[in-house]
Each structure stands twice: as C-alpha cells, then as structure tokens.
Amino acid sequence: MLFSSIPFLFYFLPVFFVLYFTMPIKARNVVLLLASLIFYYYGERGYVLLLVFSSVMDYTISLIVEKYRGKPAAKAALLVSVIGNLLILGFFKYSDFFIGNINAVFGTSLPLLHIHLPLGISFYTFQTMSYTIDVYRGQARPQKNPFDFAAYVTMFPQLVAGPIVRYQTVADQLTSRKHTWEGFAYGATRFIIGLGKKVLIANTLGELNQAALASGNKSVLFYWLAVVAFMLQIYFDFSGYSDMAIGLGRIIGFRFLENFNYPFIARSVSEFWQRWHISMGTWFREYIYIPLGGNRVSKLKWVRNIAVVWFVTGLWHGAAWNFIIWGLYFGVILTLEKLFLSNWLKKIPRITQHLYVMVIVIFSFVIFHLESVAGITEYLKGMVGLMDVPAVNSESAYYLRSYGFVLILAVFGATPVLKNLVNRAKLNPKLQPVAEALTPVFNIVLLLIITAYLVDSSFNPFLYFRF
C-alpha cells in the first residue's frame, strides 16, 4: 500500500487514527502493530510471515544475549542474528544475481529462481540486526515486551522505505511517548508536504525521465534532461517518503531522526553523503566502517575500509553490477577527497565547489539508473557530445518548455530557500499570525490538489521500494 494512494489516504489512515486515538494509551502499541501488519499484508500477502519471523528471531536472540552477557553463548547468539538476517536478505534479494554471475563465469545454465523481493526487506533486516548488535554492545537494553518490539519493527510509517530507525532512538517512546495537538499539527503538515513532493514533483519528473529515455530522437539536451529529471525524481521520491514517515511518526508521538538535509547544497561529495539518506550512512558507519577500524588504522587499511563500505553500500541498493560500480565510484571520489581534494576544494570559489559536486553526482545517477556498462558508457558519451546527435532538437526543446516550471520548482525545492522564507515569516511578529492562519489552509488546498492528481494519474511509483 503506497502512502500516495487513495486507499491509504482516505481509508486506511482515517480508520487507523480513529482506532489509535480512542484506545487507552497502553493499548496503542497493539493497535499500531495490528495496523502495520495489515498495511504490510495488503501489499505482500504471505511475506508478512517473513516480517514476523524476523521480529521474533531478533527479539528472542536479544534476550539470550542479555542472559548470557559476557559469555561465549552471547557471542554465538549474536552471530546467529547477523548470519540469519544476512541469509534472509541474501536469499530474497541476491539469489538470481549470484546464479546469473555463476552462469556467466562458468558457462553453466543454472535456472534463476525469480524470487519476489519483499517490500522493505533491506530496511527491516538492518533494523532488527542493529538492535541485536546494540544489545550485545550494551548500547540498548533488550525489550521484554514482544508486542512493543514487534510494533517497533513493523511500524508502518517507516517500514517499507525507511528511514532506518535504530531501536535506542525510539526505545523510550515505545512506552512513554506524548501525544499533543502541536505534534499532530506538525506531523500533518510534514506528511502533506512530503506527499506533495512525491506526487506533484517526483511523479512529474518521472514522466519526463521516461519520455526522454524512450525517445528515438536524441539530443545532448535530452540526455541531460533525462538524468537531471531522474536525479531530482529520486530525491523528491525518497525525501518525500521520509517526510511522510517523520510526519506520521510525529502524529502518533514518535520522533524519527531526519533522513535528508538538502544534499544538493553540499560543497564536497563527503558533505553530500552527510546530507543524503542520513540513516543509511549512519548505519554503515556504525556497523561496518567503525568495526573495521574506521580511520584509526594505517592508510592502506583505511582505504580498504572505505572500499568495503562503499562496495556494500552499492550492493545494498540493488542486485546488479551497476549498483556496485556506483558504490565504488563514490568510494574512489571520497578517498581522493580525504587524501587531498578537500584541501583543494577549500581554496576555490564556493560556486565552483557546488559545480564540482553536481557534476560528480549527476554522472553518478547515470550509473545508478542504467544496468549495463555499455548503456552507461553510451549515455555518458551522449551527455558530453560524443554521440552523433545534435545539441538541441525540436523534441527536447518541447519537453524542456513543457516541464520547465516543474524543473525550476524542483531546483528551488531541493534547497532551503523556500523553507527559510517560511521560517522568517513565522519569526516575524507581524507575519507570524498570518503564517499560522494560512498553514491549515495551505495544507487543505495542497491535499485537494494532490488528491485530484492521484485520481487522474496512473503513474505513481515509489522508486526506493525496489532497493
């Protein structure tokens, strides 16, 4: 069930809110758990049992770790959790990838399994695995109530596409969170804004990207239009989902950490990744990079650590070589920045720093989008004018005019300009009452526009579901 769908917005969500807020506080986690299982079952049917199994496994293992803390049995239990979660993720996400590569290398003809990828499996396996690791490290106390723990794992606002919520972030809130009108109002506004980012901007840019890729009348402008549209589509798709998750969480009393912080204003690629998909970057740093030794090792091992992290980051995004290449591409860039490029960047004008980041990032989305090396090479050649195509043609000019307003809106929306203007208005004593009065009006009008768009359009994918 998509957040950006009529059944979720006008059937599931209202019924959930009525049941949730009319139940006693002690029963609300049970309501949240049941609603989350129904939410997941709606889209995945039998795979809800896999979600339940993952929750039960790590709940049980955490109690074993706590009981035998400091003994070999605790470490053995932790290994069962890590291996078990990786086997689940590996089987459902990477089986055909490994079989295909074995066939290619050894000339075999092993049949592919064609296993359906369960929604959110990359997120909830990481969450439950990190929970067990944190219990083992003593950074989190095991949750004794199985229903509260299951509510954390299955929580529908962030279940299928993150952000990756670590247990200690919400541990206290699971049992003693506050529900306020201020929180409800903030959450509703945040949710509607995220919904608008997804439906009005990401979906429209997706249409432009598909049209540009499908066109047989290519031009250099078309190549650039397609990749920029895809890059911004990914951003507004995923950051919009994160906004909706954070907003829904706030409505029911949870405070999830931010997942995006305007990455396109970054002045280095390192800063870009500190601002993009923050929960994922934090997870890989805490559970892979630091355990490998981080940067407190020899330079050679430090480079190895970066390479391992970015190889895994690429593989986590998808079972295809282009994702691995994409990850290693960033691993190389980040290594160079840490070795010497960062010092050079500090000496050049700020606008040049931004241009450097944007070129690196835009090229990365070509790798991220196209599955074959040949396709990536051809596309990059087209972008720099090495293909036998004109710079601009009538078709690409038409699409630029048709989607120009959305592109401009997306560019401004990807920066804090609009947010800063609104915040200044709210801090101005004369404008504050007007801003507060217009907020609910804005939310209602925006929701009506979004609803009209959803009723009229059939193009409504969530790109990160495939990762």
Categorize the per-residue pLDDT at 463 as very low, low, confident or very high, splitting at 50, 70 and 90.
low
CA distance 163 to 257: 8
Written as one string, the DSSP assignment of 283-334 is HHIIIIITTTTTTSS-HHHHHHHHHHHHHHHHHHH-SSHHHHHHHHHHHHHH
Torsion angle, alpha carbons of 150, 253, 169, 419, to 10 = 130
Q: How confident is the model at residue 439, as a pLDDT?
A: 87
The model scores a pTM over 0.75: yes
CA distance 118 to 237: 19
pLDDT tens-digit series, residues 378-426: 999 999 999 989 999 999 999 999 999 999 999 999 999 988 888 888 8
Categorize the per-residue pLDDT at 458 as very low, low, confident or very high, splitting at 50, 70 and 90.
low
pLDDT tens-digit series, residues 130-179: 999 999 999 999 999 999 999 999 999 998 877 889 999 999 999 888 89
One-letter amino acid identity for 391? Answer: A
Name the active-site residue from 116, 317, 354, 369.
317
317 flagged as catalytic: yes
Those residues whose C-beta lies under 8 Å from the C-beta of residue 268, and which sit 6 or more positions away, are: 337, 341, 342, 345, 353, 356, 357
